[in-house]
Amino acid sequence: MEECYKALGDKTRLRILALLRTEELCVCELTDILDMSQPAISQHLRKLKTAKLVKEQRKGQWMFYSLDGSLYPFLEANLLALPDLGQEIEKLKASGRKVCCD
Amino acid sequence: MEECYKALGDKTRLRILALLRTEELCVCELTDILDMSQPAISQHLRKLKTAKLVKEQRKGQWMFYSLDGSLYPFLEANLLALPDLGQEIEKLKASGRKVCCD
DNA sequence: TCACTATATAATCATATGCTTATATGTATG
DNA sequence: CATACATATAAGCATATGATTATATAGTGA
């Protein structure tokens, strides 16, 4: 449980979770939206994955991450309390940088 | 919100919160139960207070701390999810080291 | 297979965190 | 007022954390 809160205790990771509230995203999209280096994003995602807050799924060359609320049910309310950053994803789509692979 | 989760992301602070679930306690009681130095406990309590997770109230020479769930209502569920450490407080009472000041 | 893109990992470094010791502040009581 | 007890704060130090750069791994497609 400590590890879980540690994972939540970082602004970048909270932003990632807030973004994943809207829809699953791959690493390069998160890198793009959050304007951070790819390794930095990867390392944050690893922490979130270790804490069982997100799950990953490969789609071709992209690795998509999405919320995983299975570990502690009460955490669901915490995730819902995060601000809606759907607008950031809209901007990404508008700029034509959204990955499509379905 | 980041600060709040940071405060939750430490084993000692989670234990303090779990203990305060049962009843308010003063610094020396927490020091006793958690078997840590007084300054260490004080510093953890300050972080919890800054994060608005606990509130303090002076009673004579003792400073009592109790849960403060007012900042983020959804956090209440998190606090309730902490294990019940009432037994530790019982042990303290049984050993005659519980502070009485009412 | 080779080049390209996406992602993960490793090494390094600056900063943050948590504990310790020492000291200051605050309150009760003789 | 002086002493004792409770708590807070400051300084110092070892470890943890988060970023960067460089490199390794993995999938795509010519």
**Class of domain B2-84 as given by CATH:** mainly alpha
Residue A99 — pLDDT band, cuts 50, 70, 90? confident
Query: What tokens appear for B85 in the block?
Result: 């450490």
Q: Average pLDDT of A41-56?
A: 97
Q: Which of B13, B39, B42, B10 is nearest to B26 (CA)?
A: B42
Structure-token pair, residue A52: 């069982």
Q: Check A8 against B5: CB less than 8 A apart.
A: yes
Q: How confident is the model at residue A28 (pLDDT cuts 50, 70, 90)?
A: very high
Q: How confident is the model at residue A26 (pLDDT cuts 50, 70, 90)?
A: very high
In this complex, the answer to whether residue A15 has its CB under 7 A from any atom of chain D, a nucleic strand, is: no
> Which nucleotide minimizes the distance between its C1' and the CA of B44?
C18
Give yes or no for residue A82 having a pLDDT over 70.
Answer: yes
Instruction: Indicate the SS3 state at residue B62.
Output: strand
Mean pLDDT of A13-17: 98
Kind of pairing between the strands at B62-67 and A25-26: unpaired
Question: Which of B 19-48 have CB under 7 A of nucleic chain C?
Answer: 36-37, 39-40, 43-44, 47
- Answer whether CATH 2.60.40.10 is correct for domain A2-94: no
How confident is the model over A26-35, as a mean pLDDT? 97
pLDDT in tens, B36-92: 999 999 999 999 999 999 999 999 999 999 999 888 888 999 999 999 999 999 999
- pLDDT for residue A102: 57
Q: Which nucleotide is nearest to A40 (CA to C1')?
A: D19
Q: CB distance B14–A6 less than 8 Å?
A: no
Q: Assess A1–B contact: CB distance below 8 Å, yes or no.
A: yes
Report the alpha-carbon distance of residue B5 to residue B86 in Å, rounded: 24
Q: Is the pLDDT of residue A1 over 70?
A: yes
Q: What is the DSSP string of chain A?
A: -HHHHHHHSSHHHHHHHHHHHH--EEHHHHHHHHT--HHHHHHHHHHHHHTTSEEEEEETTEEEEEE---S-TTHHHHHHTS---HHHHHHHHHTT------
Report residue B9 as tokens.
């992301």
Choose the weakest-confidence range: A4-8, B20-24, B68-72, B78-82.
B68-72
Would the Cβ of B3 be found within 7 angstroms of any atom in strand C? no
- Other beta carbons within 10 angstroms of residue A61's beta carbon come to 9
